[in-house]
Amino acid sequence: MNGVAALDRTSPHKRRTAQRRRRRAPARPARTGVARPHVRFTWYAGVAVMAAFQVVEWPLALLMMIGHEVAHHAHNQALHDFAEGLEAGA
Domain limits of the chain?
A: 3-31+40-89
Q: What is the rounded CA–CA span in Å between residue 76 and residue 89?
A: 20
Whether the per-residue pLDDT at 90 is higher than 90: the answer is no
pLDDT for residue 24: 67
Q: Tell me how far CA of residue 49 lies from CA of 14, 20, 61, in angstroms.
A: 56, 53, 10
- Per-residue pLDDT tens digits for 38-84: 778 999 999 999 999 999 999 999 999 999 999 999 999 999 999 99
